[in-house]
Chain A
Amino acid sequence: MFNKKFLKHYYIMLIPAFVWLIFFNIVPMFGIVMAFEDFNPGLGMWKSPLVGLKNFQYMFEMSDIRQVLVNTVVIAVGKIVGNLIVPMVFAILLNELCIKKLYRPIQTIVYLPYFLSWVILAKIVLNIFGFVGPINSIIAFFGGENVNFFGSADMFRPLVIGTDIWKNFGYNAIIYLAAMLGIDQSLYEAAAVDGAGRFQRIWHITLPGIKMTAALLAILSLGNVLNAGFDQIFNLYNPLVYSTGDILDTWVYRAGLVNLQFSLATAVGLLKSVVSLVLITLGYWLADKFAGYRLF
């Protein structure tokens, strides 16, 4: 029920969160004006000369930006597809596990990498694939040549996509496993009576049961097409693999905060933010329209 006296208190309750929001989310947004300026730190954000769309024009003429864009989309799409399929397959296998005592321990273990930072996991990954690491020891044991995994431009993308799936699949499987709990168990019994085999039961009962979940996750991941994962790549890459592994976020970081090309870096960052916003909004809209999904 509506109570006018309560309104004042509602606003007071919103103050801390919205003060934080205004100063640390909204104020930085005004900085995007730099994308349309030839920003000069001496003159500041509001007095630097305006140059219109020159930064964007320059950006599209740069060949390395085009390469960076390709890298970003290839890695991001690879991750999206892998992070949809691998957790699903894993969840199906786990659901079919016959030794129920193993269910919990396996689930507990596979979640773990999700909660560790890329700083730590990247160090571990670099060690394991390192020149004197265990993988190379195994290769040497079988008489092969040592491989410089993270120094190779050809291997960088598969390694990045693979290690990202490794980190996240356990966590991503939770939603599929929750959907499988919702499947009526009597369907499996009825199918068994009718003589359906394991694969037929998976194909005709489990998969249709999680179809909607998978579709929803696919739609919602649309917003990640330009999100190749800064934390991971920043901690794994080196100049040898820039040609295949440099992504928009790492490029913006180097251009803006290392080489101090503020305006150009802001323009590239803005382009990414806007395209992502459009894609996420489209994703939410589709999810609402076809699956009735609402964030609030």
Chain B
Amino acid sequence: MKERSISSDIFDIVNTVILVLIGLLCLLPLWYVFCVSLSSKEAVNAGLVSFWPVGFNLNSYHKIISEGAFFRSFLVSVQRVVLGTATSLICILMAAYPLSRTAHQFPKRNIFMWILLFCMLFNGGTVPWYLTMRNYKLIDNIWGLVLGGGLPVYNVILAMNFFKNLPAELEEAALVDGAGPWKIWFSIFIPLAKPSIATITLFTIVGYWNEFFQGLVLSTREANYPLQTYIQQMVVTLDYSTMNAEQIAAAAKLNNQSLDAAKIFVAMVPVLIIYPFLQKYFVKGITLGSVKG
């Protein structure tokens, strides 16, 4: 039963148009980079490229393949994501189980929870962190990039909440059958928590992939940059303060914007690939993490 009126129709039309425009606002900037990467250098520098490639060619992508530094950084990032995701998942899932027990089953549980919470909300700041990493000799070391961010406490709490919400009867039945904590954890809790593990895994992958700051301060050589740091350092920072308008335009022409755009696009690809999987799970992930009685 819907009441039709002219004002309601106008609202629907305007609303649809606004929403489509909002959608375009999110999509077009990414599409623009893709178009620039496929356009000729000259067309980009002349400001001719908007939302369709001008002077279509694949030169930028050919150049990327032949450029060792880009590929090396790509591999550093892949290595970091693989090691980091494995390490994180093991630590998160193992710790989440005892922490999901009640204070009656595990009397010290709350002490550990308070320590975790404190570490989530407080940190020593950039400088002490950097000096600690240097003391550990984790400069130019892949493990610095894996462990440097510290334990992902928020994900531990997320996993713990998932475990806590599983029906207690399952565990009781297993206990009657004589199962120990490891067996309950591995053959009951983990299989049942698959959707939440997927959420955490995908967020961890994206998190490691996107991180650039640790890559910047923990690497002294470009060869050790993860991809995001490589991209971040890619364009030489120009000092605009001493330039006039013509000089800025001239400086912009020196950069191969098409090549830069291709690198940016390739760096987005992994996220675009896992995005459909992410989308399936992350809605559950954040609503469960936020509204919990």
Contact = CB atoms under 8 A, between A and B. Distances in A.
A115 B245 contact: no
Interface in A101-126: 102, 105-106, 108-113, 115-117, 119-121, 123-125
B33 A124 contact: yes
A174 B245 CA distance: 43
Contact of A106 (B23, B30, B185): B23
Contact of A115 (B131, B206, B267): B206
A230 interface: yes
Nearest to A252: B126
B166 interface: no
Q: Is the interface of A mostly helix, strand, loop or mixed?
A: helix
Given A31-B127, A230-B213, A240 B47 contact: no
Contacts of B123: 25, 28-29, 273
Interface string A1-30: 111001101110110111011011111111
A133 interface: yes
Nearest to A256: B127
A28 B32 contact: no
A119 B245 contact: no
B65 interface: no
B275 interface: yes
A293 B180 CA distance: 33
Given A119-B232, A127-B32, A21 B26 contact: no
Interface in B276-293: 278-279, 283, 286-287, 290-293
A175 B235 contact: no
A98 B94 CA distance: 46
Interface in B25-69: 25-27, 29-30, 32-33, 36, 44-47, 49-51
Interface of A: 1-3, 6-7, 9-11, 13-14, 16-18, 20-21, 23-32, 34, 45, 90, 93-94, 96-99, 102, 105-106, 108-113, 115-117, 119-121, 123-125, 127-128, 130-134, 136-137, 140, 146, 148, 151, 166, 170, 174-175, 178, 189, 192-193, 195, 197-198, 223, 230-231, 234-235, 238-240, 249, 252-253, 256-257, 262, 265-266, 269-270, 272-274, 276-277, 280-281, 292-296
Given A34-B127, A106-B23, A131-B252, 17 more contacts: A9-B180, A16-B94, A17-B91, A21-B115, A24-B148, A25-B153, A96-B11, A96-B15, A116-B271, A131-B245, A134-B51, A170-B26, A178-B287, A252-B126, A256-B126, A256-B130, A293-B290
